[in-house]
Amino acid sequence: MKNESLTLFIPLYGKAMMSREGIFPDGTAERIVSSVDYDFGKVDQSRKLAIYMAMRAAHYDRMVEEYARKHPEGIILQLGVGLDSRVNRVKVDLPWYDLDFPEVIALRRDYYPESGQYHLIAVPALPADWLAGISQHRHALIIAEGLSMYLSEKDMRALVAAFRAHFDEAEFVFDAYSPLAAKLSKFKNPINAVDAKIDFAMDDPALLTGEGCECVLNSDIITPDMIAQLRGSDAVRFRFMGRAGKNFYRIFGYRLIKM
């Protein structure tokens, strides 16, 4: 696998850890971690990181639930999906497409069989000519969880343009490091263990805005409702992290409209 693809085992392990503790229900992650042929000793197994990965995933889970209520005619599209089990955690009756590199999808097929509504796409996100295989639904929710940092600004703009050209309207949601956090990550970051490199970072939503592209979400990952689920030293640690690092890593969402 490519170095960037190997990072999929970091959130997978974290979610499995939190599932075993009853903090973030993800039985599929537990099952995969116990059965997949991978040495999890190579990934950062810190409790702090595991909680953070579960918090991030919970944000996106809620977005999918809310989107399905508002757009019963829409579709779900996930880029760089890895082995994430959102399609199992969030039960929605919408067409659902999960995309990643061919070697990742080959592994994913062992745990997530395709069905009438669920589809796997075994290609990199760019070039985006794979969109031709997806019917031109009026509306789409596009999720790029844990992906933007391995792309470039040019790549991100190319994705925005491709989605605007294909869908009448779409919501494009992703998480991103700030430029300062990207610089600091050279010294300590779980992705360093698999030699993955950060290329894209942003702190100003205007970086990607333009005609037909409006920023509608700029959110902390650590939020009070999530801290409320923690106890003891975990709660204390994440209250501090929420105050000290709120601008280091955020979730952004853009409304894209075909022009």
| Total domains, the chain | 1
| CA within 13 Å, CB half, 40 | 19
Name which of 214, 128, 124 is nearest 169 in CA terms: 214
How are strands ordered across the β-sheet holding 213-220? 118-122, 96-100, 75-79, 139-144, 169-177, 249-257, 213-220
Flag whether pLDDT at 5 surpasses 80.
no
Flag whether pLDDT at 213 surpasses 90.
yes
**pLDDT for the residue 107:** 96
Do residues 47 and 64 make contact, with C-beta atoms less than 8 angstroms apart? no
Question: Does residue 122 fall inside a structural domain?
Answer: yes
pLDDT band for position 179 (cuts 50, 70, 90): very high
Question: Does residue 196 fall inside a structural domain?
Answer: yes
pLDDT band for position 124 (cuts 50, 70, 90): very high
**pLDDT for the residue 198:** 80
Question: Does residue 113 fall inside a structural domain?
Answer: yes
Q: Containing domain of residue 235, as a range?
A: 61-257
Flag whether pLDDT at 48 surpasses 70.
yes
DSSP-H helix ranges across the chain: 3-6, 9-20, 27-35, 47-70, 86-89, 102-108, 153-166, 179-184, 224-227, 232-244
Question: Does residue 118 fall inside a structural domain?
Answer: yes
CATH number at residue 232: 3.40.50.150
For the chain, the residue count is: 259
Flag whether pLDDT at 119 surpasses 70.
yes
- Does pTM surpass 0.75? yes
**pLDDT for the residue 65:** 98
Question: Does residue 65 fall inside a structural domain?
Answer: yes
Query: Mean pLDDT, to the nearest integer, of 77-87?
Result: 98
Q: Which residue has the tokens 């970091």?
A: 10
Question: Does residue 16 fall inside a structural domain?
Answer: no
Question: Does residue 47 fall inside a structural domain?
Answer: no
Query: Mean pLDDT, to the nearest integer, of 164-192?
Result: 85
Query: Mean pLDDT, to the nearest integer, of 84-91?
Result: 96
All residues at 6 or more sequence positions from 37 whose CB lies less than 8 Å from its CB, including other chains: none
Flag whether pLDDT at 86 surpasses 80.
yes
Name the 3-class secondary structure at 197.
coil
